[in-house]
Each structure stands twice: as structure tokens, then as C-alpha cells.
Amino acid sequence: MFGDLLDEFTNKCGEVKDGLLRAMSKLLELHDDYFVDQLGERADTYVRFSYYPECPRPELVFGLKPHSDGSVLTVLMVDDVVGGLQLLRDGVWWDVPVVPHTLLVNVGDQTEIISNGIFKSPVHRVVTNAKKERLSVVLFYSARSEREIEPATQLVDEKRPVLYRKIKVKDYIAGLYEHVSQGTMVIDTVKIF
Ligand SMILES: O=C(O)CCC(=O)C(=O)O
Ligand SMILES: [Fe+2]
């Protein structure tokens, strides 16, 4: 039963993801399937179920440390009662509002790289709550691990030089956890300054 439900959920989220990838390609004036093609035959899909128990000292403990997602796109179904997800913008942490029955979509690092920095992969974190537990189900869509990604050549010119170097997806993902635990950003390792 649970397997069927998860199957249906991932299939429907897959349609959302493809629709968004096509819209993003259009926005960047790339051909409609540019992003879909970058992911490969079948996108690598990871699902993460997170349970954040109530925490008596939320000021001392993160639910999830600050990070950006290593994905192309992340589709989140966050708890529809308890907030906790926050986004960093201009040095300020903003609460992501809780909106029941709504999927939240996050742009990941691979999209930042492919779009040559036009789409930014936001830094976010989860804070804990002293009184309430929280749940989330998160789907990460990634280009296949053996592929290499790099900024679309159409998005590189004299005014916007190439900002990220080519990288194998597998190597990029391998660096993720190491960097998050050390409080550094893996995307900084592929930036060309
Ligand atoms: O639990 C959440 O709301 C966010 C989780 C998240 O950012 C992640 O798993 O990468
Ligand atoms: Fe995340």
C-alpha cells in the first residue's frame, strides 16, 4: 500500500518536474527539452523522509545545517502544520511559510551551473521546534551520475563569461556531505573567479 502511494506520488511529482524544466528552458531561451535532456534518459531520483523531533534547545540544534541542494530540482512536501524551513537571502534568514497542500520547489546547484548562474540555488536550513515534531518528504532530481554538466554555451558570452567549470555529477554529489558537515559550500569548488 505504502509502495503504491509512493509510486503515485513520485510519478505525479515527475510530471511537475518535467513541466518546470521545460518552462525553465523556455525562460532561458534554450530549446524546450534542454534541461530534461541534461538529466539523461531517466533522472536520478532520491527521496528523503525527514523526521525532526521536538527539541528542548532549538537555539542550539539545527534540524538540518545550512546547505544548498546538489540537485537540478528539489520537490518538497513539507509539514503542513509546523514550519522550520528557512532561506538565506542577502544575509537574512527568512521563514518559508507553511501552506497546506502545496508543493515547494527548490532550484538546485546543478541548475545554477547549467544556467551559468542565472538561476541561483538558495542556501536553506531547518530549525528545530521546542514543542512540535515535524515531517517532510523531499524528492531530489539529479542528472545521471556518470554525466558531466557545464553552463549552456548559449548562456555564455562576453558580457556573461563562463562562471562554473565542467564537472562530473558523481564527483559533485560525492563532495556534498563532506562540505555540509564542514559548513562549506560545494558549489564554491566549481566557481571560476
Ligand atoms: O525538511 C525540509 O523542509 C527541508 C529538507 C532539505 O532541505 C533537504 O533535505 O535538503
Ligand atoms: Fe535542502
The CATH number assigned to the domain holding 130 equals 2.60.120.330
The confidence band for 178, taking pLDDT boundaries of 50, 70 and 90, is confident
Neighbour order of strands in the sheet with 73-78:
44-52, 134-142, 73-78, 104-107
Q: Give CA–CA dist 89/143, Å, rounded.
A: 26
CA 125 to ligand 2 center in whole angstroms? 7
Counting beta carbons within 10 angstroms of the beta carbon of residue 110, is it exposed (0 to 12), middle (13 to 18) or buried (19 or more)? Answer: buried
- Please give the model's pTM, rounded to 2 decimal places: 0.95
Pick the ligand that lies closest to the CA of residue 63.
1
Residue 14: inside a domain: no
Residue 61: inside a domain: yes
Pick the ligand that lies closest to the CA of residue 126.
1
Domain range enclosing 90: 42-189
33-70 per-position pLDDT tens digit: 999 999 877 889 999 999 999 999 999 999 999 999 99
CA 102, 106, 111, 112 dihedral sign is positive
What's the domain count of the chain? 1
CA 8 to ligand 1 center in whole angstroms? 21
pLDDT of residue 70: 96
Residue 177: inside a domain: yes
